[in-house]
Structure 1
Amino acid sequence: MTASLRILAGLALASVSSQALAEDNFTPGDLTEEQASKRYVVDIGVAGFVNPKYDGADEYIIYPLPLIGFSRFYLPGFGQVKEGETEGIFIYPSFGFVGERKPSDDESLADTTRVPWAGELGLGAGFRKDWFRAFIEVRHGFNGHRGFVGRGGIDLIMPVTDRLTFVIGPRVDMANGSYMNTYFSVAGGGASGPYNADGGFKSVGGVARASYALTDAIGLHLQGGYDRLIGDAADSPITQNDNMWSVGFGATYRFAWDMF
């Protein structure tokens, strides 16, 4: 089936996993002296993304997606676990969102049931040294699914100017059996027959991003990404296209405050 681009507005229609939501690597520019003195520094904004309608779909949609990136984060009892561009180990909150998916969304979903929207909460941790950064995120779902998902990646960080930064690197996604069963299994009785998806690696791919600090508080971000479904996700009769491309553009505003 030839992939088609169907432009549909609205977050409620978005059924793709929103790994871009929580990735920590889009924050541009250095912290000001005042920002660096605060325990919490977070960039919050919104982006418009073109992504597959759901994982494995061959139709694309455009939808708004929140952007959240922590530069400094304080945990009581542990202290400052993320300190701006400081080299070394860091920890940060991780969030995700998966939109509602209905059997009527595509013929390949005819043997499935409606899956409500799902939120995901968890933590990310990583290590940075100069131009190199590696990270892993683990989240637990609620509402639409109650499984665990994870994403790992390596970044090459290339500052072009004091305000413009390029980031590029590979990504790998994982999910446990509960998540995979929710989104890739098919019950018996339909034309495709039963299919049980097990947990494991879900996709491999990469991300390229340009971030520009328009001011000390406002950032602009352009991102392109590619993920290829593998394993049980690729073998599922729900999957119509293993190749998933994405592109998005957004803006963030930086907030800095103290607590505790």
Structure 2
Amino acid sequence: MLSVRSKAVASVLAAIAAAPATVANAGGFGDLASTDWQVGGFVFVAPKYEGSKDYEVRGAPFIAPAGLGDTSRVQFRGPDDLRFRLIEFGGFEAGPLAGWRFDRDDNDAARLRGLGDVDGGFVAGGYAAYNLGPLKPFVSYHHQLSGDDTGALIRFGAETRVPLTSGISVQATAGASYADDDYMDAYFSVTPGQSATSVAGLGVYDASAGIKDVYLGLTSDVPLSDVWTLKLSGRYSRLVGDAADSPIVEDENQFFGGLGFSYRFKVD
């Protein structure tokens, strides 16, 4: 089952993309404002909610310095993980991140009816990574600041880049996500009040903080011309622990696919 839900994340992505130019104009990293930029959009196919067996299509436009990868200060890792490399020396790098956490409606699935909605919102945090050559371990922190207080996630893992052909490579990422109590309560717990109003008759369930999933992701940029680039991404995650045992969850196996196009241009 697929449905289209539009999300107003353009202002979030534009604000993050503007950050490098702002720092550059302050004399931080040279004149990034006069470098190549790119504008485009992503289309995501993702579960209707975390643990859903049904999927929907979501879209997000973006504007950022060209690259959105290891060669750019702006790195895209997902809707809630657009990173800005602020610090870099040796193999170490770190910086802030931002993005958007999508909402969950109680009409997204039969077993959610009566539980109430969970509002999405703006996410902010930070990340750190260390380049060991072919392998880059990382850790990132993501906290929702607007909408409902759905707490924080800590992701950790490692990335590696595998060349395929001239000019084309695939970045593979493997890791796990730790969720705090607020996140687990918002997305996986069932309170006594929710149990009483649950149309599906779900029982009370208290999900504790801990590792909520393990995942494997692949991303690639495919140049189509001097100015156009095709962006591909895919991710598989498996819910574990209290998240997997939640009565809200329909399927522990979660898949994500993304496709986007970007247009490269120069700003003087």
Q: TM-score band (shorter)?
A: 0.7 to 0.9
Q: For 1:18-59, what per-residue CA distance to the aligned partner results, in whole angstroms no more than 9, with x for missing partners?
A: xxxxxxxxxxxxxxxxxx964577766421111111100010
Matched, 1:204 2:214: yes
Task: Give the equivalent residue in structure 1 for 2:101.
Answer: 98
| RCO comparison, higher one (Cα < 8 Å, 6+) | 1
Cα contact 1:39–1:80 (8 A) shared by 2: no
Task: Give the equivalent residue in structure 2 for 1:195.
Answer: 205
User: In the aligned structure 2, how far is the partner of 1:66 from the partner of 1:117?
Assistant: 18
Cα contact 2:99–2:122 (8 A) shared by 1: yes
User: In the aligned structure 1, how far is the partner of 2:253 from the partner of 2:117?
Assistant: 24
| One-letter amino acid matched to 2:115 | T
Provide TM-score, normalisation by structure 1: 0.74
Compared CA separation, residues 209 and 61, structure 1 to 2 (3 A): same
1:79-118 correspondence runs (5 A) = 81-82=87-88, 88-118=91-121
Task: Give the equivalent residue in structure 1 for 2:149.
Answer: 145
Task: Give the equivalent residue in structure 2 for 1:131.
Answer: 134
Q: For 1:82-119, what per-residue CA distance to the aligned partner results, in whole angstroms no more than 9, with x for missing partners?
A: 4xxx8611113322322222222212113412111222
* 2:230 alignment partner, one of 220, 223, 239: 220
Same amino acid, percent of matched pairs:
28
| One-letter amino acid matched to 1:241 | D
| One-letter amino acid matched to 1:128 | N
Instruction: Report which stretch shifted further, 102-111 or 46-55.
Output: 102-111
Q: For 1:213-234, what per-residue CA distance to the aligned partner results, in whole angstroms no more than 9, with x for missing partners?
A: 4456653211121000011111
Q: For 1:139-180, what per-residue CA distance to the aligned partner results, in whole angstroms no more than 9, with x for missing partners?
A: 111212241112222122123345211111312111100111
Task: Give the equivalent residue in structure 2 for 1:180.
Answer: 184
| Counterpart secondary structure, 2:107 | helix
Aligned length: 223
Cα contact 2:46–2:256 (8 A) shared by 1: yes
| One-letter amino acid matched to 2:162 | M
User: In the aligned structure 1, how far is the partner of 2:125 from the partner of 2:39?
Assistant: 18
| Counterpart secondary structure, 2:4 | coil
Task: Give the equivalent residue in structure 2 for 1:62.
Answer: 57
Compared CA separation, residues 215 and 93, structure 1 to 2 (3 A): farther
User: In the aligned structure 2, how far is the partner of 1:72 from the partner of 1:147?
Assistant: 27
Matched, 1:72 2:73: yes
| One-letter amino acid matched to 1:187 | T
1:153-164 correspondence runs (5 A) = 153-164=157-168
User: In the aligned structure 2, how far is the partner of 1:145 from the partner of 1:80?
Assistant: 27
| Counterpart secondary structure, 1:252 | strand
Instruction: Report which stretch shifted further, 225-234 or 61-70.
Output: 61-70
Cα contact 1:204–1:230 (8 A) shared by 2: yes
| One-letter amino acid matched to 1:137 | S
- More strand by percentage: 1
Cα contact 2:150–2:186 (8 A) shared by 1: no
Mark the runs of 5 or more structure 2 residues left unpaired by the alignment: 9-28, 75-84
Provide TM-score, normalisation by structure 2: 0.72
| Counterpart secondary structure, 1:10 | strand
Matched, 1:52 2:56: no
